[in-house]
Structure 1
Amino acid sequence: MKVLISKSDISGRVTAPSSKSYTIRGLMCAALARGESEVVRPLASDDTEAAI
């Protein structure tokens, strides 16, 4: 059996799971920013609630 593998372009989107530290950093940056901010997919945890 012969197998032919051809080179091709790869595309797509990967959504990484939220982390506690990234969520809290995002909240702190949003608090310091002027205007409106949106933290997308924050991690729901006790530490996140405490930071808010």
Structure 2
Amino acid sequence: MTEREEYEAWFAREFAGREIPDQIRALGFTFWRGGRQSLVTIAGEPVEIRILQEAR
């Protein structure tokens, strides 16, 4: 799965049923991807980012 596909899946789950303008969705991806890249840079080594189930 590409970063974009992961983001789109997350976005669909988090904002299901809400009308979000395409520009906001695209900007969100920019920040989402930047955050992930920052984690990799800070770690200084390859990292694995996984989604954990939230307690409900």
Name the TM-score, length of structure 2 as normaliser.
0.32
Q: Which has the higher contact order (CA 8 A, sep 6+)?
A: 1
Structure number having the greater helix percentage: 2
Name the TM-score, length of structure 1 as normaliser.
0.34
The structure with the larger Rg is 1
